[in-house]
Homo-oligomer: A and B are copies of this chain.
Amino acid sequence: MTGSTIVNIPELPADEDTTGQESVYARLRHAIMIGTIEPGTNLTMRGLADAMGLSPTPVREAVRRLNSENAIEILPNRRMAIPEMTLGRFEELVALRVTLEVHAAERALPYISDIVIEKLQMLDDRMDEALRDENLDKLTVLNQRFHRMLYCVNPNQVSIPAIESVWLQLGPFQRQVVKRVKEFYKIDRHKEILSALQARDVAALMIATESDIREGISRSGRRVLTDGIG
């Protein structure tokens, strides 16, 4: 067999002067983040290069970056794979995600403006649409955009890279969860987050952020990992 396990890596709008390495990085990152690539998938430099129409050189650089972000695992054989999820790792990832996002939300609040709240409101509306259409990929992207936009109003924000690294590590597994636990996406606490923002209420914002994570991925994911299926 030539190349590796076939993987579905969506294309992405490429800027004019974006380098090959960057486009590979962006495509792979996005694919992993929305869970297009299953845990355990084996990857090869040449396989990815062929799939993207590039030489192994830029692919290698992109893969190395994602390895440093803990999105791609490099085995002792020097082979590459998307890591499998374990219950222990899952609990730690969720706990870290809560800590990081509560922290980021808290430090974003002082910089929040009514304009941003309005934009967040619009994003939330679009999420409701995506939910009706059962467009899960879009829902994931919008959800991440919602959180990212909030944390990024802090002009000196430095926690987004760490947060996105956690998203990357949860992405492939989350797709598995969604397939098994139907009601997963019905739950979000975005309305509560928005209320807390409008009231400029730190405590409420932190509680809402934590609930949004714990009642979403956390509960469903744990069921999949313990019961085998939800």
List residues of chain A with CB under 8 Å of any chain B CB. Answer: 21, 57, 60-62, 64-70, 86, 88-89, 91-93, 95-96, 99-100, 103, 107, 154-159, 161-162, 165-166, 169
Contacts and interface: CB of A to CB of B under 8 A. Distances in A.
Contacts of A162: 96, 100, 162, 165
Nearest to A60: B61
Contacts of A103: 95-96, 99
**Interface of chain A: mostly helix, strand, loop or mixed:** helix
A154 B88 CA distance: 10
A154 to B, nearest CB: 7
Contact of A107 (B92, B154, B169): B92
A205 to B, nearest CB: 15
7 contacts: A65-B67, A86-B156, A88-B156, A89-B156, A92-B158, A99-B99, A162-B162
A158 B64 contact: no
A158 B61 contact: no
Nearest to A66: B68
Contact of A64 (B65, B91, B100, B165): B65
Contacts of A62: 64
Chain B CB within 10 Å, residue with most, of A21, A61, A89, A100: A61
Query: Shortest 6 CB-CB distances between A and B: which pairs?
Result: A88-B156, A162-B162, A65-B68, A99-B103, A92-B156, A92-B158
Given A60-B61, A64-B64, 20 more contacts: A57-B57, A61-B64, A62-B64, A65-B65, A65-B67, A68-B161, A69-B69, A69-B161, A86-B156, A89-B156, A92-B154, A92-B157, A95-B107, A96-B103, A96-B159, A99-B103, A100-B162, A158-B169, A161-B165, A162-B165
Contacts of A89: 156, 158
Contacts of A157: 92
Contacts of A161: 68-70, 165
